[in-house]
Amino acid sequence: MEYRIEHDSMGEVRVPADRCWGAQTERSRQNFPIGVGIETMPREITRAFGLLKLAAARANHALRPEIMTAEKLSVIEKAARETADGTLDAEFPLVVWQTGSGTQSNMNANEVIANRANELAGKKLCHPNDDVNMSQSSNDTFPSALHIAAALSLEERVLPAVTALIAVLRRLESENAGVVKSGRTHLQDAVPIAFSQEISGWRASLERDCELIRLALGPLYELALGGTAVGTGLNAPAGFAERAAQELAALTGKPFVSAENKFHALTSRDELVFAHGALKALAADMMKLANDVRWLASGPRCGLGEISIPANEPGSSIMPGKVNPTQCEQVTMVAVQVMGNDAAVGFAASQGNFELNVFLPVLAYNFLQSARLLSESITAFTERCAVGIRADREKMRRNLHNSLMLVTALNPYIGYENAAKTAKLAFEENISLREACVRLGFLTPERFDEVFHPEQMV
């Protein structure tokens, strides 16, 4: 491999000749051989840095045109756009397990954009610190990149995935209107419920999750950019924070604004904790939904078997013909991972010592993994399971009429205690509620038939 010599404030460093990164990136690459190739800094972060550096360059050009000249801005814009669109992903090798401020990832972006800009200019025009990092610090750029990445992930990936599943559930509600089945509480038979009502519970839970996520987006639109090292804005010109946020809003179409209190914006990560709480709520509801589906589809002969779901792949290496609810299983595993990530996000956010939180990369890694996993998991579940849910209406009818909890309908006519006696006799002697009620002398056969209508109990 061929190398070139780069230098930073600590001296010279050999860097692979075919790479755009510089000395500080290479030092980090050598010093943190932890999770290499597996736990790389999330691409959502590196691409957010591209947007951020582009917005910062435009703001600097407007406020300091004598330093951020039109010539510099032109090539920095092009390099930053390549970073934002993923063209330069291979130039971001650093892992999550690095400095807790994310300084080295900020410098990775500065070096890559500067060197790529110089390549485009055909000369050494831009400096990583003096130009690409102008008016900034790692301490305000990494929190800002994290907010950008989080907001875009929620708005452009998670919400569309959930919305698509909600649409499928609405269709299933409509298709199953009027289908009455046995309800269940504590995994025991309960009074009847319409299958459409059961589905509506799933749908409404997901709609509420979307509301919570949208509520969490507001604080994420507030950016630390402009606070520089400790929140005072040292070395940033007046108006930079506001102008950079405006540029980011224009670039993304999202309502990014400058955070009012930069001291809070640098050290506190409460917005991420709140937003991840909404993701955990979504994970909890998806866990419940997936479990309901696999319980209802259990069987095919010895389970509940009230619905069928698509058969996507063989389910056993030894039992021929076995098919498992694998999409439900992937959903529940993802939910477990998200719940674990929530603990990591909370712990990381609690480590804001004095003027800076120094657990930013691990917070970014866990938050963005949750958003990515949920969006992909929900999409797979929607397309490979939910769309193919079919009610076995005859099985639902048999289970409904075999349920002892239908006796609840008799409470107004024979009282709670007599209804309990009726259910107990029917269970012990394996006879119908009608036969037990008549035998006990609580109602005549004619009166029983007059008042007992399970389908009307919903």
What is the C-alpha separation between 126 and 363, in angstroms, rounded? 31
What is the C-alpha separation between 105 and 145, in angstroms, rounded? 11
Report CA-CA distances (Å) from 123 to 127, 291, 387, 449: 11, 61, 57, 93
Contacts of 129 (CB under 8 A, 6+ apart): 110
Which position has the token pair 């991840």? 276
Report CA-CA distances (Å) from 226 to 55, 59, 180, 302: 12, 11, 60, 64
What is the C-alpha separation between 266 and 273, in angstroms, rounded? 15
Residue (of 143, 21, 35) closest to 95 by Cα position: 35
Point out the residues that are catalytic.
186, 316
Residues β-bridged to residue 308:
390
Give the number of C-alpha atoms closer than 13 A to the C-alpha of residue 38, restricted to the C-beta side.
6
Residue (of 210, 205, 213, 209) closest to 169 by Cα position: 205
SS3 of residue 5 by DSSP:
strand
